[in-house]
Amino acid sequence: MNITLKKAFAEIRLYPARFALVIFALVVGIWGVGSILISYYILSGDLRQNYLNTRPAHAILTSGDFDKLDLKALRARPQIAAAEFRDFSLQRIEVAPDRWIPLWLYGISDFDHMTLATIYPEKGAKVPAPGTLLVERNGLRISNFERERQARVRLPQGIRSIAISGITFDPAQAPATQDHFIYAYTDQQSFAQLTGEPINQRLIVRFNNVTDKAQLKKTVEELVQALSAEGIHISKIQIPEPDEHPHQWQLDTLMVLQGSISLLAFAMAAVLVSQLMAAILSRQIRQIGVLKAMGASRARVLAIYALMVLSLGVVAAVIGVPLAVLSGYGFSYFVAYQLNFNILTTELPGLLYALLFAVGLLLPLLFSLPAILRGTRISVREALSDYGIAVKATGSSTVSPWLQRLPSTLVMAIRNTSRQKKRLAVTVLTMALGVAIFSTGFNVRQSLAVLLQENAESMRHDVRVVLKQPITAEQATALFGKLPNVRKMEAWNGGRGEMEHRLLSSGSGIGITALPFDSELLRPKLVQGHWLRGGNRAELVMNLQAWEAYDSPPVGSRVSTWLNGKQDTLVLAGLVEEFDKPNIYLEQ
């Protein structure tokens, strides 16, 4: 065996426990970093591909005039890639005894030839029988539909039991387990019979050659103008983020957090390797001098210790990379289960394996290189005359006056700790990072507690009942006033609206809430300006989400709005902070 390899392996056998600890730390680091790299590679591509496979709509248009639309002629336009009617109604469904949540019910014209927002059958019927529903699979996790195969739905004509004829998969939807909705699909005729609403009121469209949202908005504006010229008035426009899953941000945030912690763990392991090499080199100064005196060049000596580090990296990579592949796939399946999409990647590219092995080999070597270079730079005379820790000339005290007052054992501990200032700095930095990570967990926990407390102080009511059809305040109070334990109630008005100058900017509109200016049941945290003052002032208050969505107009400025088809100008009186979607508050 080559003398360089013999020397490197002999050093490893000389300190087996110490090197085993270093290998363990490197395995943990490679395992953590590799798992995140592999899961990021799988998840980032597969979530997007699941979404794109459905051919998601670029725009959703709502109108009561689509009976005038020639759908075949619309599809023939050069900018239109696909267009079809996909009706929608918001109802309520019972997922467990006396437990009702929102039902997003879609009416599909042709289940066999969907060109947009495709859904995939999983169990039961591919096409629902008349009067039955297909339920999206993620909804089974928050309901008893798997067992009952019947659903009680609250419809305008009353509560009805509807058969579930099949289970389907819709990767374009946000997970039902997180948004707490049930997604269901039926044919158009059943949709009209169940909801009592007309069909062909909602058009989904996908365009050709659209690369960004600015271009998409421009294309939608052109289409809306063309339809308006044909006498088709568009009452609502929704533009999702182009070709982006609704929860893509959630996945990205999760991967950044996990990756940061794993990378930090691997960096700490590499620092441990560098400290080990520094300790070994400090003990072998005279051995290095003997090697050089026998004719070994600095490069030859450096190769011995570099091979030592590389051998540690090889062992750690051989153990850590397979573990990373297993846990990376396991974590990917877990996230896919939570976000409701399928894992499509079955094989990893060889380049990814090469990257993991390169990180396991080269990063510890790079961290150790300064110590190795410093230890092998010493001359033969300096190495052979080395006798340990240097002291100052006789007669000069090396102990500070303030240290002389302390016990001798403590003085020795302090001096030994501060002797290697760089090592001390690395140790302190590592400990500080560990404390910072530990403290971050508690800070996040405390922040959530504060957020919930502020939200409770802002929303001073226990239940908010939203009615599908408007009724008078007297009717509302008469319905709920006789219930026991009702101490205070108020009747508010509300709906969805749009600011005039950003008609096409919002996917779901801005919430509008009209309430008494002196409401006792809602008082959001004021950030700037003032709350509604009453006296029929033409004022509005925005939460920060609505304020940022519309170019952050200054407080006190006038804002043009459309309410019930009528243009009005209101003064922005203040801004409030709340954990909610974009919302505007007006006085009743």
**DSSP one-letter string for 310-366:** HHHHHHHHHHHHHHHHHHHHHHHHHHHHHHT------S--HHHHHHHHHHHHHHHHH
Single out the residue of 493, 546, 544, 496 nearest to residue 516, CA to CA: 493
Is-contact 103 92, C-beta < 8 A? yes
Candidate from 47-61, 230-244, 309-323, 556-570 with smallest mean pLDDT: 556-570
**From CA 572, how far away is CA 531, in angstroms rounded?**
10
End-to-end CA separation in angstroms for the chain = 90
Residue 502 has pLDDT above 60, yes or no: no
3-state secondary structure 54-114: CCCCCEEEECCCHHHCCHHHHHCCCCEEEEEEEEEEEEEEEEECCEEEEEEEEEECCHHHC
**From CA 162, how far away is CA 103, in angstroms rounded?**
13
CA 437-441-445 angle, to 5 degrees, is: 160
Is-contact 204 88, C-beta < 8 A? no
**From CA 39, how far away is CA 46, in angstroms rounded?**
10
Is-contact 332 43, C-beta < 8 A? yes
Across the range 197-208, mean pLDDT stands at 92
Is-contact 245 47, C-beta < 8 A? yes
Single out the residue of 456, 519, 523, 524 nearest to residue 491, CA to CA: 519
Confidence of residue 507 (pLDDT cuts 50, 70, 90): very low
Across the range 436-463, mean pLDDT stands at 80
Residue 499 has pLDDT above 50, yes or no: no
Residue 187 has pLDDT above 90, yes or no: yes
**From CA 178, how far away is CA 471, in angstroms rounded?**
31
Is-contact 195 105, C-beta < 8 A? yes
Q: What is the DSSP letter of 409?
A: H
Across the range 17-29, mean pLDDT stands at 78
Residue 397 has pLDDT above 70, yes or no: no
Confidence of residue 464 (pLDDT cuts 50, 70, 90): confident
More confident residue, 447 or 261: 447
340: left (phi over 0), alpha (psi -120 to 50) or beta: left
**From CA 573, how far away is CA 530, in angstroms rounded?**
6
Across the range 42-51, mean pLDDT stands at 87
**From CA 304, how far away is CA 516, in angstroms rounded?**
80
Is-contact 275 373, C-beta < 8 A? no
**From CA 251, how far away is CA 463, in angstroms rounded?**
32
The residue type at 338 = Q
pLDDT at 505: 34
For residue 464, report the phi and psi dihedrals to the nearest 5 degrees. -120, 115
pLDDT at 501: 36
* Contacting residues for 117 by C-beta, under 8 A, at least 6 apart: 54, 55, 56, 57, 86, 170, 172, 204
For the chain, the average pLDDT equals: 81
Residue 391 has pLDDT above 70, yes or no: no
Share of the chain above pLDDT 90, in %: 23
Is-contact 305 281, C-beta < 8 A? yes
* Contacting residues for 443 by C-beta, under 8 A, at least 6 apart: none
Is-contact 472 534, C-beta < 8 A? no
**From CA 182, how far away is CA 144, in angstroms rounded?**
12
Confidence of residue 389 (pLDDT cuts 50, 70, 90): low
User: What token pair was written down for 172?
Assistant: 């374009």
Convert the pLDDT of each residue in 254-276 to its tens digit: 777 777 766 776 677 667 677 77
Across the range 20-41, mean pLDDT stands at 82
Confidence of residue 191 (pLDDT cuts 50, 70, 90): very high
Return the sign of the alpha-carbon dihedral for residues 295, 299, 301, 303. Answer: negative
Longest dimension (CA), the chain: 105
**From CA 27, how far away is CA 369, in angstroms rounded?**
20
Share of the chain above pLDDT 70, in %: 85
Is-contact 530 574, C-beta < 8 A? yes
Single out the residue of 202, 206, 128 nearest to residue 172, CA to CA: 206
**From CA 456, how far away is CA 454, in angstroms rounded?**
5
β-bridge partners, 515: 587
**From CA 132, how far away is CA 310, in angstroms rounded?**
65
Residue 431 has pLDDT above 90, yes or no: no
Residue 539 has pLDDT above 70, yes or no: yes
